[in-house]
Chain A
Amino acid sequence: MFDLKAHLKSLVEAHGPSGHEGPIADLLRNDWADLTDEIDQDGLGSLIGVKRATEPADPPRRIMLAAHMDEIGLMVSDVIDGFITVHRISGVDNRVMLAQPVIVHGKQPLPGIVASKPPHLLASGERKKYPGFGDLLIDVGLPAEEVNELVKPGDLITPDVEMIDLSGRKVAAKAFDDRACVAAMSFCLDQLRGMRHSWDVYAAATVQEETGYQGATVASYKIQPDIAIALDVTFAEQPGVDQDSTASMNGGPAVGIGPNFHDKLRDKLLETAKTYEIKTQDDPIAGRSGTDAWAIQVSREGVPTLLLSIPIRNMHSPVETLDMADIERTGRLLAHFIAGLDADFMAAIDWPGLADLKTAETPA
């Protein structure tokens, strides 16, 4: 039996910053073994699970789902007297670092703490500004000579935190951005096991989204999909984030509207949501979406693309929070949408105008 919450927990408690996603791919190879027919990996490391159509359309059609498996993280820059200095790989917020537990991925994983000066010793000026990355030190509690032996510049550093339950069905963890969406893809694949579908499904857990969607760029080239749906997280309502940029937690996936997305594809998806009474929300994005969808849309000859986003709080912190119901809604919606795709679907979402032109030509 596929256990969504246990799957999610193992994904977010594993460590895979951008460019170093191997451990996540290994987990997925195992968890997707029963959910897919084939598993492939591209040149940059994105893992691609293929679920073949139960009754293939003619010509065969492919839908690509994409969710990135990399997370933000830090890297060792130096070791001074047994203490570790850092620089960031992507997107980490220096203001949520002090006193946080971390794992330093040296020759062996070492539990560490981001050092914080006790309040007794702080000068008044120090209390007013967050330290920059250049000021941070990590203490792994071992003698200097041992640290020198075990830790080298270039080693990775990630938060050492578990996924925990909050009230209701809310949970908190690191790396929900974007492994919550990897889990939603898995949930979709599990739902599809009980359904008939005529399109092949390519589920891509992409690498290197946080550094500029390099993973989705090459994965979509390899897959060559007819349509694609990217999955990412978006900002849930919370103080300090303006209302128009947010989606409601427990409000269902936010569906992107804007130039990055295909309007007719969106209409079709919303029809499915209505039929199956799955809550969704609108997510207006005026230009660059900053997600895998931005890369996939312009792959090869262009791909009709959508973006579904799961609302989370505290993005890029060790306490990202979400509601499990939103992951389930996203996975269910995708499964029903895929089951509804037929041989005529590409014609159904074709641009208006060209069809009229052909009709006009026919009499001549």
Chain B
Amino acid sequence: MILEALSNAVGISGREDAVRKIILEAINGHAENIRIDAMGSITAVKKGTGENLPRVMVAAHMDEIGFMVTGFDGNGLIRFTSVGGVDARILPGLRVRLGDDLIPGVIIWTPIHHNRSQSVKGISDLRIDIGATKKEAASGKVSRGDRITFDSKFMEIGETMMRGKAFDDRVGCSLLVDILQGGPYPVDVLAAFTTQEEVGLRGAKVAAQHFDPDVAFVLEGTTAHDLPNPQADADDETDINPTARVGDGPVLSAMDSSMITDPRLFKFLKQTAEANDIPYQIKSRRGGGTDAGSIHLAKAGTSSAVISAPCRYIHSPAAMMSKNDYAAMLNLAQAALNAITFDTLAREN
């Protein structure tokens, strides 16, 4: 598992270079026909041992959400915008890193002594301070268009928990590396480490058009918000959060905002998990989309499904997930690659 290195690496959408470098080194010798396409995605093929089996695309996205420098104020403060979806409420007082040199900066905040408004300040009203006092000093260190990331380091907590940024979707990348380093599998595995998922599922579209697979699995980090509501009525059982739970195993999505999962694949994954005693959970909340949203529409249509690791606090400086979920997800993905045939995709009538 190379999740720690992948989580610490910085790869905001469209600038995935550091992540790509780590993955290329990790899969070298474990797959054939390794290439980088026009979008910057890595594609690679791991030949199968069987015959007359479906060609299976497995995708995980390399990019993460972050920010971009848009301008400079006369006093040296830096204006910025988000790349991908971010909750502006988490930004005040955060530490960030700017540009390829990872220049340290902080998101400034008017002291509570001078402003007590509880209305949320949008990103356009926030500023980053790198310590420059003049526009020229700031623009000499970073440039408009430079990417900005959360200043955050991976850590392990207790027996099972991992904490870090960008688990969405470095957990998928790390699993796909494990899959390529393992095996071989009966089927051809068409691996795609994609770019630009967070800005519209862009890299996966091109990768799918290149592979033209028979079926596709997407490996993701998904929203788990299995927290109690401190203001809730403790006796009201309906007042719980309807998302996935950390520690309950990989998440199978019946649908999300980008795709309704092919029921044949959904059923196959559930049966595969049950046959192998792998825990799993089902999510049907529509929030969020995945690369499967563009893969299933590629060319003449590709049957697709998503397997996700439940992560708390994705799209923030520190997500949390369980090593047990990671291990179960790897087991499920490998079991699926070992079991899938064209019969899996047979129509019932």
Contacts and interface: CB of A to CB of B under 8 A. Distances in A.
Interface of A: 78, 80-81, 83, 85, 91, 93, 95-96, 98-101, 111, 113, 115-122, 127-131, 134-137, 139-143, 146, 161, 164-168, 170, 172, 235, 237-242, 245, 249-250, 313-319, 321
B87 A93 contact: no
Nearest to B90: A99
A166 B129 contact: yes
Contacts of B158: 141-143, 146
A328 B151 CA distance: 29
B91 to A, nearest CB: 8
Contact of B227 (A137, A143, A249, A318): A137
B1 interface: no
28 contacts: A78-B230, A83-B230, A95-B112, A111-B157, A117-B225, A118-B288, A118-B315, A119-B85, A120-B288, A120-B315, A127-B89, A134-B230, A135-B230, A135-B231, A137-B227, A139-B312, A141-B158, A141-B161, A146-B158, A166-B129, A239-B110, A240-B115, A241-B111, A313-B108, A315-B112, A317-B109, A317-B111, A319-B95
Interface stretch (B178-186, B316-324, B338-346): B316-324
Interface stretch (B99-107, B262-270, B271-279): B99-107
6 closest A-B pairs by CB: A166-B131, A240-B110, A167-B131, A96-B93, A170-B131, A120-B287
Contacts of A142: 157-158, 161
Interface in B131-160: 131-133, 137, 141, 151, 155, 157-158
B92 A317 contact: yes
B90 A116 contact: yes
Contacts, number: 187
A128 B132 contact: no
Contacts of B118: 95, 129-130
Contact of A116 (B85, B119, B161, B316): B316
B120 to A, nearest CB: 5
Nearest to A245: B114
Contact of B313 (A99, A146, A168, A250): A99
A116 B313 contact: yes
A167 B137 contact: yes
Contact of A139 (B85, B227, B314, B315): B227
A222 to B, nearest CB: 30
A164 B95 contact: yes
A93 B285 CA distance: 33
A237 B134 CA distance: 13
B205 interface: no
A95 B109 contact: yes
A153 B131 CA distance: 39
Nearest to B126: A239
Nearest to A318: B93
Given A167-B130, A319-B106, A321-B129, A120 B223 contact: yes
Contact of A93 (B112, B243, B287, B314): B112
Interface string B295-316: 0000000000000000011111
A137 B228 contact: yes
B89 A85 contact: no
Given A111-B155, A130-B120, A321-B106, A99 B131 contact: no
B88 interface: yes
A210 to B, nearest CB: 12
Given A118-B225, A141-B161, 9 more contacts: A95-B89, A116-B316, A120-B287, A129-B120, A140-B157, A164-B151, A167-B141, A170-B131, A319-B106
B86 interface: yes
B192 interface: no
A241 B75 CA distance: 14
Nearest to A121: B287
Contacts of A136: 230
A314 B312 contact: no
A187 B188 CA distance: 68
A120 B130 CA distance: 30
Nearest to B103: A167
A321 B157 contact: no
Contact of A118 (B108, B161, B314): B314
Contact of A121 (B110, B119, B228, B285): B285
A253 B80 CA distance: 32
A96 B243 CA distance: 26
B317 A99 contact: yes
Contacts of B105: 166
A25 B343 CA distance: 72
